[in-house]
Structure 1
């Protein structure tokens, strides 16, 4: 598949295809695991960085042989990512006919090892982009920002996650019965598996109006800014703009609004390294 598509300006288009395939259910289910998730997410981040300098590289390769060589190295890595996806697709189709076995576990470990190797090679490739003078894709910068999911439910609703929702609703109800307790419930998984959809379904359930005095939905994203996130939480709770600028003042104002009340705050798109902030907040309230 890669051999037919990768070449010249088509590499950028092929990366889009890779991102779609990396988010498919069959790949996510097969590769699922703490170590696998770590390497897969890092590889996705690296490919996103590649994508924003790709247009500049493809233009300059005509007159700069070093950039042409850089693109060749990048193409080789892309071939291997595509090969891994083909391997997983074949394995997923086989698993529909036979049960999961020790061989499958061994195969998964081999794929995780390949991902780790690809991440290392991509890291080396990306270190060269500054010395090659590659610039950000201007067309990419001109595009409108990526849509941010909100608490409003989508037109298609949620399917196949009823048991997951019931389990979370039970946790929410039990935790809220103790007025002195503040709990953090995590919905963890790779991108594209429906974490936001599941949280949104719980957030909009009518039963919660009988449990909580306050609700707030805040999107965190990959660039964690504690001041921005805390301010957004306060503005969601009060439904008023926050004019404070210092983190200490914002936190004290937020805690003042939350004390003595039962509240549900959904922080969407939180990365694992940012969870210390949630624990700190829970301890202070």
Structure 2
């Protein structure tokens, strides 16, 4: 959503320059600075949108960016309306006392939002946001997309002992049973039963180790499939 908003604002800013409204309203310098900063920010948006899941600071940064972009878009709309109202007489209107005050007001607001966006652009460096990082990670993770759980394990706290207990049952007891084994996780709603089950499901290293009898190579889906295939062929 942030990318769409920023794309619209950058496009409107380009029209603003092409129609010479920036010169007419005396905000040419701010416009150039805004264009450069917005383009730089947009280049790291994908990385920021991925990081906001685990970083409140980056999430706040994206919100500040959205707020500033909305303010800038409103100013550009107002400038466009003002220009259309004057039509071919806009250069004459430029020297009208009332219009000078209006231009000064728009210039002040444009300068304020330009300063905010400059700070936002500088913060992207502080956060270490990278260009195109999201696409690279997606390419590396494509083969895992079909098998991963929806749980983000770094955000699950206080369930290590419960997880170890369930995994212990699965790899030490259930694996030797001739019959189907069931481990029930019971309790009132809201205790995190589903979350615990998903965390156990994600503990693939322990479970696969119990199946193939050695430390599994989980670096790729292909290596896992190869190990399981060898076990099945030897049965």
For normalisation by structure 1, the TM-score amounts to 0.41
Higher-Rg member (1/2): 2
Higher relative contact order (CA 8 A, sep 6+): 2
For normalisation by structure 2, the TM-score amounts to 0.50
Greater share of helix residues, 1 or 2? 2
Greater share of strand residues, 1 or 2? 1
